[in-house]
Amino acid sequence: MRSAWLSELLLLGGLLLAALLLAAVFGYFGWFMFAALIGFSGRHLFQLYRLERWLRVGRVRNPPESWGIWGDVFEHYYRLQRRYYKRKKRLARVIREFRESTAAMPDGTLVLNSEFRIVWFNDAARDSLRLSSSRDLGQPVCNLLRSPRFKTYLAAREFDQPVIVPSPVDDSCSLAVRLIAYGADQYLLLIRDVTRMQRLQTMRRDFVANASHELRSPLTVLSGYLEALADEQELGQHWQEPLADMLAQCQRMNTLVNDLLELSRLETEESDASTEDEVDVPSLLDRIVRNARAEDGDRHVISLEISSGAGLKGNDSELHSAFSNLVVNAIRYTSAGGEIKISWLARPGGELAFEVSDTGIGIDEKHIPFITQRFYRVNSSHSRSKGGTGLGLAIVKHVLQRHNGRLEVESIPGEGSIFRCVFPPQRAFYSAELPGDSSILAQ
């Protein structure tokens, strides 16, 4: 038995023994026993009073001194208190270091709760959004960033990429905003001023567009003269091959200029493609495949399979550009006699997919994340020999972004590739009817 409890028992035993002795001398056994118990209980009540007073005044002093079980109680509680204060200081130090580090960040940082209300912000956020601690703490962040794109970003709860919104302080400035989830339903909102980057990108787009326009006129003149010279009978046979090479290079430059203009236009369009216009995708694919067969000249087996009569809400010319780019790439990188299969189908969940599969040279897995970059080529010499500009997949990527779609790529070097454009259910409409059976197979 512990000494503290032994002391309490000895005290109780001593009081009872004293009561018995006094009762043996004076009588009144009950009254003396009652007095002994009152004394024992009084001690405990007094110690409880001391403990309550110590807790009430904030436990700023050392605990009261006592002996027996109460001495142990005071000592144990004091140790718990010291551990609690040490842990509290550590947490306070961590929070202070966190706030100091985020306050030193050049980017604006806000701490939001589960309801996206502002809990804390650093100096950079205060300056960029003109926040006030007395006014804005506890406010929903949507009250400060009144942008439809930001509201859509919050509602989607897909925070892998930042969203660009206009500054609520200066409309000429652009802010890149990104949410990072942490802890128990808490978020960090990171804000970066990307005005300079946006202006540089605008300058680059304007330069590309202007340069492309300026190149188009001299290329048209050169192509015209070269075509006229190629038809001139007085030129010797030895001029036919150089003229054909020059015409091919002019055609390649014209294709490059057209692709640059198309890409510049897509990059300039910030909003999504309209959902008011409806595109009859089965008819669109039929036109694309007919043109592809005519240009291919039976070098490949090109098949079209349409298993859904659904169409898309979007831009007809942009979708034509994206789909035809994928078909042309499949033809370009598939050897003669290879098979190219083009499909339009519905997927589980209401998604629609345009799919082009080929038996061509394929793409190594390490290149797949980069193939939608401008002018990226897996094999530069092969691409140039096939007449590629390196912009086709970049155009496809931007068209899909404007139609809320995504590009999926599966490829095995030497065996072929599958390029799949997947569109969400909200882009689908079902007024189109399949001609004939539920599928079309054209060879």
pLDDT at 341: 95
Tell me the C-alpha distance between 205 and 189, whole Å: 30
Share of the chain above pLDDT 90, in %: 19
pLDDT tens for 199-208 read 887 887 788 7
118-121 and 163-166 as β-strands: parallel, antiparallel, unpaired? unpaired
Nearest-5° Cα angle at 208, 203 to 211: 115
Residue 19: exposure state from Cβ atoms within 10 A (0-12, 13-18, ≥19): buried
Local confidence band at 380 (pLDDT 50, 70, 90 cut-offs): low
pLDDT tens for 87-134 read 888 888 888 887 777 777 778 888 899 889 998 888 888 888 888 888
Torsion of CA 425, 430, 434, 435, to 10 degrees: -150
Mean pLDDT, rounded, for 231-245: 78
Nearest-5° Cα angle at 238, 232 to 239: 45
Q: Which two tokens stand for residue 27?
A: 């009588």
Secondary-structure percent of the chain, ordered helix, strand, coil, rounded to 5: 55, 15, 30
Mean pLDDT, rounded, for 344-349: 90
> What's the DSSP call for residue 376?
-
Q: Which amino acid is at 204?
A: R
Q: Which residue do the tokens 């897996």 mark?
A: 378
Say which residue, 74 or 369, is predicted with more confidence: 369
Domains annotated for the chain, with CATH where assigned, are 3-95 (no CATH), 105-193 (3.30.450.20), 198-268 (1.10.287.130), 278-442 (3.30.565.10)
Q: Which residue do the tokens 């859509």 mark?
A: 152
pLDDT tens for 393-436 read 888 998 998 898 999 999 999 889 999 999 999 898 886 454 43
- pLDDT reading at 179 higher than 60: yes
Local confidence band at 443 (pLDDT 50, 70, 90 cut-offs): very low
Tell me the C-alpha distance between 288 and 284, whole Å: 6
pLDDT tens for 247-277 read 888 888 887 888 777 777 777 765 677 888 8
Could you tell me if 243 and 222 are in contact, meaning their C-beta atoms sit under 8 angstroms apart?
no
Torsion of CA 381, 383, 385, 387, to 10 degrees: -150
Tell me the C-alpha distance between 396 and 319, whole Å: 8
Span between the terminal Cα atoms of the chain, in Å: 96
Tell me the C-alpha distance between 277 and 319, whole Å: 12
Sheet holding 278-279, edge to edge: 278-279, 311-313, 428-429
Torsion of CA 275, 277, 283, 286, to 10 degrees: -70
**Taking the alpha carbons of 181, 187, 192, 194 in that order, is the dihedral positive or negative?**
positive
Could you tell me if 341 and 370 are in contact, meaning their C-beta atoms sit under 8 angstroms apart?
no
- pLDDT reading at 166 higher than 80: yes
Q: Which amino acid is at 414?
A: G
The average confidence (pLDDT) of the chain is: 82
